[in-house]
């Protein structure tokens, strides 16, 4: 079923073409507006929000190709059909590569116009249905995440509280052996709560909403904050933390909260998967149009066959239930998602038994001349 009373915008400098298209399409039940220049057409598009646009490629002033590019930027879901002369079919093909759905050559008959507009509106209908379906699926997914998180978190959190009451002796004397078992249960439940929290953060992460709150971010400050937070863990394993930051390294434009999550995960892993008396070096520097940072350790490393999957959700290099190093398998998936959302790139280089290097490059803030 086609869109009922679809809205169509005709942008053509020939009045006869505009009037002819309007007459034919109105007889089909569509609402039609016309513009004789590219600039007028762009203004009408923002006011009219048409389902389909017919654009003449050859116009004085702003060309049809320029109009097409601006319309594609304004609303990529609006169906755009270019009008072209027989001698400019190659231009029509180029226009299709730039976002046009189809083209109609001059001169064209009313039947040809009706047919191509009908196809275009069918495309528009399918796009709308797909978008509506995706919105519905996203709403269901978020509701499920919210429900599952509450249903999982609440009983686990309550159990942790009960165990703490028992450990404090409020329910009577507890033998040393029982205390040891309860401590282990408590630790595993806390790990589960942490995993649920990370999974929820990943499931509901919205890059567009995050971008609305971007600000200047000093990566050196974020790194120092993360190293300070993780120092107790490093001290426990006698792992040495150090920072090498380029002086006056530019800021990036991004989310401080996300960058803290990235550094916490990468430095935390570098400590967790390190050897006793190992070292973790954090380096921050400018590289062409980017600000890069590396987390380098001399820990246990990652086997080559595991490297392609380390950013997959729930994937753990050592997936044994009784593995001496526990983890959710979500930390690196979160890191990758957040780096991607900042337009950055993350790479890993590792040698099993020798150590691992994670390198992240993020676009620097082009207007920033600030120092770290």
Which tens digits make up the pLDDT trace of 163-179? 888 888 787 888 888 88
Amino acid 169: pLDDT: 79
Is 315 a residue whose pLDDT tops 60? Answer: no
Is 150 a residue whose pLDDT tops 80? Answer: no
Do residue 61 and residue 119 come from a single domain? yes
Amino acid 314: pLDDT: 60
Could you tell me the sign of the dihedral formed by the alpha carbons of 57, 58, 59, 65, in that order? positive
d(CA 61, CA 51): 25
Average pLDDT value over all residues in the chain: 84
Amino acid 257: pLDDT: 87
Which tens digits make up the pLDDT trace of 251-305? 898 889 889 989 999 999 999 989 999 999 999 999 988 999 999 999 989 888 8
Do residue 45 and residue 127 come from a single domain? yes
Report the pLDDT averaged over residues 176-205. 78
Whether 368 maps to a domain, the answer reads no
Amino acid 371: pLDDT: 39
Do residue 184 and residue 222 come from a single domain? no
Q: Of 73, 105, 132, which one is at a domain's C-terminal end?
A: 132
Whether 310 maps to a domain, the answer reads yes
Amino acid 87: pLDDT: 52
Do residue 259 and residue 181 come from a single domain? no
What is the number of domains present in the chain?
Answer: 3
Do residue 17 and residue 80 come from a single domain? yes
| Rounded CA Rg of the chain | 29
- Nearest CA to 227 among 198, 268, 284? 268
Which tens digits make up the pLDDT trace of 218-228? 999 999 999 99
Do residue 120 and residue 20 come from a single domain? yes
3-state secondary structure of 273: coil
d(CA 67, CA 115): 24
Q: Which of 24-28, 85-89, 155-159 has the lowest mean pLDDT?
A: 85-89
Do residue 194 and residue 212 come from a single domain? no
CA-angle at 212, arms to 358 and 361, nearest 5° = 20
Which tens digits make up the pLDDT trace of 62-99? 888 889 889 888 888 889 999 887 656 677 778 877 88
d(CA 36, CA 119): 24
Whether 97 maps to a domain, the answer reads yes
| Percentage of residues in the chain having pLDDT higher than 70 | 86
Whether 174 maps to a domain, the answer reads yes
Cβ neighbours of residue 139 under 8 Å, at least 6 residues apart? none
Report the pLDDT averaged over residues 121-126. 90
Q: How far is CA 327 from the centre of its chain?
A: 24
3-state secondary structure of 32: strand
Which CATH number belongs to the domain containing residue 40 in this structure? 3.40.50.2300
Q: Of 164, 180, 203, which one is at a domain's C-terminal end?
A: 203
Which tens digits make up the pLDDT trace of 317-351? 553 334 444 445 677 888 998 899 899 999 999 98
Q: What is the span of the domain harbouring residue 84?
A: 7-132
Whether 1 maps to a domain, the answer reads no
């Amino acid at each position: 079923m086609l869109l009922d009373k679809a809205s169509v915008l005709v942008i053509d400098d020939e009045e006869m073409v505009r009037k002819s298209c309007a007459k034919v399409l109105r007889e089909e039940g569509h609402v039609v507006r016309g513009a004789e220049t590219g600039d007028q057409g762009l203004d009408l598009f923002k006011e009219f929000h048409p389902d389909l646009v017919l654009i003449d490629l050859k116009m004085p002033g702003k060309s049809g190709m320029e109009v097409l590019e601006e319309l594609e930027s304004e609303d990529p879901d609006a169906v755009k059909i270019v009008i072209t002369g027989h001698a400019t079919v190659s231009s029509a093909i180029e226009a299709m590569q730039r976002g046009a759905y189809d083209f109609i050559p001059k001169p064209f008959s009313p039947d040809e116009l009706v047919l191509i507009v009908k196809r275009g509106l069918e495309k528009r209908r399918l796009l709308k249905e797909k978008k509506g379906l995706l919105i519905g699926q996203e709403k269901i997914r978020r509701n499920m995440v919210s429900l599952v998180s509450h249903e999982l978190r609440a009983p686990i959190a309550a159990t942790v509280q009960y165990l703490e009451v028992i450990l404090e002796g409020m329910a009577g004397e507890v033998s040393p052996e029982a205390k040891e078992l309860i401590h282990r249960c408590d630790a595993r439940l806390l790990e589960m709560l942490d995993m649920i929290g990370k999974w929820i953060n990943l499931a509901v992460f919205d890059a567009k909403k995050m971008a609305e709150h971007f600000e200047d971010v000093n990566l050196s400050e974020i790194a120092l904050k993360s190293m300070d937070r993780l120092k107790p863990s490093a001290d426990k394993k006698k792992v040495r933390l150090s920072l090498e930051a380029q002086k006056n390294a530019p800021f990036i434009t991004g989310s401080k909260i996300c960058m803290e999550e990235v550094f916490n995960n990468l430095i935390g892993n570098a400590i967790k998967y390190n050897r006793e008396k190992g070292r973790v070096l954090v380096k921050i520097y400018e590289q062409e149009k980017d600000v890069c940072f590396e987390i380098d350790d001399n820990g246990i490393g990652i086997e080559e066959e595991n490297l392609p999957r380390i950013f997959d959700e729930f994937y753990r290099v050592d997936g044994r239930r009784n593995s001496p190093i526990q983890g959710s398998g979500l930390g690196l998936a979160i890191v990758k998602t957040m780096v991607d959302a900042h337009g950055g790139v993350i790479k890993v280089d590792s040698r099993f038994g020798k150590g691992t290097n994670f390198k992240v490059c993020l676009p620097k803030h082009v207007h920033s001349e600030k120092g770290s």
